[in-house]
Amino acid sequence: MSTFRVGVIGAGSIAQSHLTAYSENPDVDLVAVADMNLERAQAVAEKHGARRAYADPHELLADPEVDGVSICTWNNSHAEWAIAAIEAGKHVLVEKPIARTLAEAEELQRVVEKSDRVVQVGFVRRHSPNCQVLKSFIDADELGEIYYAKASCLRRVGNPGGWFADKEISGGGPLLDIGIHVLDLCWYLMGSPKVVAVSGNTYDKLGSRGNVTTMPRYKAADYDPSKNTVEDLANAVIRFENGASLLLDCSYSLHATKDSIDVSVYGEKGGAELEPSLHIATEMHDSVVNIEPQIASRTFEFGVGFGNEIQNFVDASLGRAESVAPAWHGVEIVRILEAIYESAASGREVTLG
């Protein structure tokens, strides 16, 4: 069996999920971790069994024993490090969003197209069993043509602060952080249609909500409630070349009675709710029928999703499978996200060629 030798750039929270999945994968030799904080890189490398730690990612990319890398840095350096890794001859798994802006994403895509390296974007929810089961139903035409979808991820108090709340680093707020996941799931299940028009809105009415101390929330290591330059809420109507449409909303902070997630698709023969739990609706013998696939879990499971994502990246890099999330998918999602921001800023629908 072939062994895939891996390095991880970045040692923050999302890197831990990559590192755990790599360390548990029998096809992987975890070689090195790089982080601008060398002490953190060394501690994380020791924890997960990596042999080396670097303070400079360039040193990791120059390491001849590394075949592929995961890029788990801040959003503003995703494209930069992905390009550097490709040019160093490495296969690349880059966390979402693939880039902070469309210009960065398209520059990366040009490099990808000139290379023979696998470049995969970290749309981890695609790899969840509930998503893959639903995708198998759709691919077998059980739902017919998908013409409508809803993607929603709403948090009452969820601004993580730190770099997540700094637009210069993150590129945006909940739209680029959590909204991207549900948007991508719907777009993937719809067959990745070409977007033609976007009408979006963003709101920054509530700020960081740092005054709320009675509810738990994930906080970035550099959390500062006084600093926030990203939106609280974004919504959009997205239209595609095939006539299908998608309704999206996402928030860090909203005066809602509960946090919620909703990913649903509707076709000519049937529809399905993927999140919060997989259920399929169809029509049989002139009756409406609900179907509940019997799988271990009908919702997204973090560890299983990352394990499957890493396995797909390894298999694609070793020539044993196709990547479930190729780089150009990441570019198209950034195209939609940027159009939402543009529409919100102009107050008008944005038409895309």
Tokens for 294, please give them. 């019997």
* Phi, psi for 11 (deg, rounded to 5): -130, 25
How large is the average pLDDT for residues 57-80? Answer: 98
For each of the domains in the chain, give its residue range(s) and CATH number, in order of start.
Answer: 4-124+308-326 (3.40.50.720), 126-300+332-351 (3.30.360.10)
| Nearest Cα to Cα of residue 50 among 16, 77, 76 | 16
How large is the average pLDDT for residues 172-189? Answer: 98
* Chain centre to alpha carbon of residue 240: 21
Rounded CA gap, 343 and 341, in Å? 5
Q: Which amino acid is at 62?
A: A
Rounded CA gap, 149 and 267, in Å? 9
How large is the average pLDDT for residues 53-64? Answer: 98
Tokens for 284, please give them. 């049989």
What digits encode the pLDDT tens for the residues 5-40?
A: 999 999 999 999 999 999 999 999 999 999 999 999
Q: What is the pLDDT of residue 305?
A: 98
For residue 1, pLDDT beyond 60: no
Q: What is the pTM of this model?
A: 0.96
The answer to whether the CB of 178 falls within 8 A of the CB of 251 is no
The answer to whether the CB of 247 falls within 8 A of the CB of 126 is no
The answer to whether the CB of 253 falls within 8 A of the CB of 159 is yes
Tokens for 41, please give them. 């890189």
Q: What is the pLDDT of residue 2?
A: 84
Long-range pairs for 41-44: beta carbons < 8 A, 24 or more residues apart? 41/11, 44/11, 44/15, 44/16, 44/19
Q: Which amino acid is at 100?
A: R
CB count in 10 Å sphere of residue 283 = 10
% of the chain at pLDDT higher than 90: 97
What digits encode the pLDDT tens for the residues 254-268?
A: 999 999 999 999 999
Rounded CA gap, 327 and 94, in Å? 9
State the first-to-last Cα distance of the chain, in angstroms, to the nearest integer. 46
| Nearest Cα to Cα of residue 68 among 91, 93, 50 | 91
CB count in 10 Å sphere of residue 46 = 12
Rounded to the nearest 10 degrees, how much is the dihedral formed by the CA atoms of 302, 306, 307, 309?
140
How large is the average pLDDT for residues 268-274? Answer: 98
For residue 119, pLDDT beyond 70: yes
Rounded to the nearest 10 degrees, how much is the dihedral formed by the CA atoms of 71, 305, 4, 120?
-50
Quick check: helix, strand or coil at residue 132? helix
For residue 353, pLDDT beyond 80: no
CB count in 10 Å sphere of residue 185 = 26
